[in-house]
Amino acid sequence: MLLTQGLRQAGVGLLTLRRIYCLSRAAHTSAQKVEYKPIKKVMVANRGEIAIRVFRACTELGFRTVAVYSEQDTGQMHRQKADEAYLIGRGLPPVAAYLHIPDIIKVAKENNVDAIHPGYGFLSERSDFAQACADAGVRFVGPSPEVVRKMGDKVEARAIAISAGVPVVPGTDAPISALQEAQEFANTYGFPIIFKAAYGGGGRGMRVVREYEELEENYQRAYSEALAAFGNGALFVEKFIEKPRHIEVQILGDKYGNVIHLYERDCSIQRRHQKVVEVAPAAQLDPHLRDRLTADSVNLAKQVGYENAGTVEFLLDKHGKHYFIEVNSRLQVEHTVTEEITDVDLVHAQLRVCEGWSLPELGLKQDKIQINGSAIQCRVTTEDPARGFQPDTGRLEVFRSGEGMGIRLDSASAFQGAVISPHYDSLLVKVIASGKDLPTAATKMNRALAEFRVRGVKVGLSVCSHHPPH
């Protein structure tokens, strides 16, 4: 408010400043033959905390926001945080509503939406959705449809990694079509091995096999899980790395071939192949290994012409060797810790890249990206540890969160009176603690988690508080 009043007293309005800024930028970029298409309105084809996260970034950039919601989400906070909100998937099951591409595109076109941000989950890694946006003349805030397709096909992504000189775990070159192929792989490389869904992730269709007698049963289960979750039961087989660290590198590319990394995150603390705690940067990581991980990630991204934000995931074995797993062609749940240690707003960057800005124009040059301190994220979920972490639902009768210096909370339903739906992901709030080093961040995290008071719905606070790294 004070800033706005001061500008007005000086005879300069914020809109005038924005207009002058855009004109001067257009003059600057025209010499570089850069195509710049300003965004005025952004839809988020998602719900919950990630929708609100994107809406906040849009508001800061002066973009109008559009929410979509299912019939079950009429009272959800993300609907209220947007400038406009529209019902999609009338008569459809809750999750199916957010997967109904025709409805989403229809709303976007009818309401002059310039760009659609997919968030994470739902349609975020669906190349057909990215293509539908392009066909409708609406920008997709992410990579091109072809890159989304290539990265979503784990077998093709693996082949691209090999061609880029990135080390991979021994595995099949294509999806297997019969149990016999898995048997032949095990005979060649030995046990343990792991089945993975070729067209999806999140732990579904993933089965570790440690001996020959378990092979057939786990093959059938992995196939069934993959088919149910992704509509395709295709599997591929890899040698299983025992007790690896799970390290991922944040990358960012623009439309002009520039790619940078924003260092790495350690996501090794998982439950049922789902991340629980994420740390940036990775603790006790050899600097030379960090250089190899980040260089491999950038090289892989350049190999496919990667645009916008993405994550390259690796396994790190006990000998310090790293192996490519996959590329997530979207914003990650844990992008927050990278933002905290680099002071780069990744959603701002996504939207600006989508407009046509180059990374250098945004001040995002590799030598300018530095690690500053440490950050930890804990995912507080509405799951009951006493019942094997089964999702819990109901109304939050009491909700008081941890607060204070160095604590960031990203949420959508974390408030007294909120109704926790049984239809969607169990994430209640992301707690992010940052400090000058990892012990400081861990101390802040433990203190913040201890301050939480939640009644009405069971939450998995104990899981987080037992795991923050020191």
- Residues belonging to the active site: 330
Give me 333's structure tokens. Answer: 């749940």
Q: How far apart are CA 245 and CA 322, in angstroms?
A: 9
- Find out whether 250 and 309 touch, Cβ atoms under 8 Å: yes
Task: Determine how many CB atoms are found less than 10 A away from the CB of residue 56.
Answer: 15
Q: What is the spatial distance between Cα 156 and Cα 365, in angstroms, rounded to a whole number?
A: 30
Q: Closest Cα partner for 212 from 187, 229, 241, 245?
A: 187
Q: How far apart, in Å, do the first and last CA atoms of the chain sit?
A: 41
**Residues facing 453 on adjacent strands:** 400
Q: Are 87 and 107 in contact (CB under 8 A)?
A: no
Q: Give the residue among 128, 268, 110 at the shortest CA–CA distance from 118.
A: 128
How much helix, strand and coil, in percent to the nearest 5, is found in the chain? 40, 25, 35
State whether residue 187 is helix, strand or coil: helix
